[in-house]
A and B are shown apart, each in its own frame.
Chain A
Amino acid sequence: AQSVTQLDSQVPVFEEAPVELRCNYSSSVSVYLFWYVQYPNQGLQLLLKYLSGSTLVKGINGFEAEFNKSQTSFHLRKPSVHISDTAEYFCAVRATGFQKLVFGTGTRLLVSP
């Protein structure tokens, strides 16, 4: 079985500052990794995904994430955040060959002016 840990439930940051949202996973098989964003009162939108190949993945809105197999991590980063990045961010994992997505508990990013 797979599991995902997002240790930070909330991350406050000032506008234009860099941010890193942490995600660690556990799995006995190979996995695909995803980051989803949920803006207030909206559904989930895919930010980026790692399936194979380059471990540095670039997504929408200037976000990127790096897959680190040895540390079983998939941290999300952005060099300079905007007020509009305020949202909840979910890391998710899916075992290769299966469709089921397992989500972390989410990290709320609060960007202040």
Chain B
Amino acid sequence: EAQVTQNPRYLITVTGKKLTVTCSQNMNHEYMSWYRQDPGLGLRQIYYSMNVEVTDKGDVPEGYKVSRKEKRNFPLILESPSPNQTSLYFCASSVGQQETQYFGPGTRLLVL
């Protein structure tokens, strides 16, 4: 089954404790992206990747890092999480200019 998976689905952590949210797709998509969803703000892009070893900042990259060492994986790294990073995070992938972006199930993060 074609899908985008994220782990963990739920995470509670404390300020400053490094964490990684994994994202994996099995559709051989070149393009992958991370979004955060906050009430009243919709989804905002954090980082995106056009292909392996090609990443770039989205609209709200501060406090986040990403890497794309393999085509299927695109982890989101929070080196020193802060409470303002409490949010719902979505990973998405797509191929080609006209193709639809497929979204993962989301990761709900709470930073205390």
- A interface with B by C-beta (< 8 Å): 4, 6, 9, 32, 34, 36, 42-46, 49, 51, 90, 92, 96-106
- B50 near A99 (CB under 8 angstroms)? yes
Set B31, B45, B94, B103: member contacting A44, Cβ < 8 A: B103
Q: In the docked arrangement, what's the CA distance between A97 and B100, Å?
A: 13
Min Cβ gap B2→A in Å is 13
Which size bracket describes the interface of B in this complex?
20 to 34
A–B Cβ pairs within 8 angstroms, 23 of them: A4-B42, A9-B40, A34-B100, A42-B105, A42-B106, A43-B104, A44-B92, A46-B101, A49-B100, A90-B42, A97-B97, A99-B31, A99-B48, A99-B50, A99-B94, A100-B33, A100-B45, A100-B58, A101-B45, A103-B43, A104-B42, A105-B40, A105-B41
Interface of B is mostly: strand
- B interface with A by C-beta (< 8 Å): 31, 33, 35, 40-45, 48, 50, 58, 90, 92, 94, 97-98, 100-101, 103-106
Q: In the docked arrangement, what's the CA distance between A4 and B59, Å?
A: 14
Considering only CB atoms, which chain B residue lies closest to A51 in the complex?
Answer: B98
Q: Which residues of A contact B48 (CB under 8 A)?
A: 99-100
Q: Which residues of B contact A36 (CB under 8 A)?
A: 103
**Assuming the A-B contacts A43-B90, A43-B106, are A101 and B101 also in contact, with contact meaning beta carbons closer than 8 angstroms in the complex?**
yes
